[in-house]
Amino acid sequence: MRVLLLADTHVPTRARQLPEQVWPEVEAADLVVHAGDWVVPELLDELEDRSAALLACWGNNDGAELRRRLPEVARAELEGVRVAVVHETGQSRGRDERMRAAYPDTDLLVFGHSHIPWDGAADGLRLLNPGSPTDRRRQPHCTYLTLTLSAGTVADVELHRLPPRPTAA
């Protein structure tokens, strides 16, 4: 199962839309995972229409409509991998161990909030943050992740860097 991980899209406050380079990944994925901070529901509608499947949660910048439509923590078992998706996990120090305790029945935890890509592990729990495809904050690039789920394993995790957006003249 090919999976695309997104978070912190902040459409339309940080970008008018998802970068064009991301849409072929959406369409090629068996599953799109979004770890919150959509801001408005229009991108959720578009991802629901254009993706084969979507697993998503709401974030701290998401209003009532998104919170009505999405859970705070999304969960699924996919290809033998127990997946949870949450927006916020707190400070980076001790995150891996803290999340292992908070999500004992999870193999893969996808999260967002920081806009900082993260690939960590604690006692059988893999933690992944794809960064943001629209708002790099203090990072050198806007980013997203792809991976493969197969026979109970998470494999082929790849961080994708997007080219800088053109600036207005």
Residue 82's CB is within 10 A of a number of other CB atoms, namely 16
Check residue 168 and give its pLDDT: 47
- Those residues of the chain that have pLDDT short of 50 are 168-169
Residue 168's CB is within 10 A of a number of other CB atoms, namely 4
Check residue 166 and give its pLDDT: 58
Check residue 14 and give its pLDDT: 78
Residue type, 137: R
Q: Which CATH architecture does the domain made up of 2-162 adopt?
A: 4-Layer Sandwich (3.60)
Alpha-carbon 64 to chain mean position: 20
Q: Show me where the domains of the chain are located.
A: 2-162
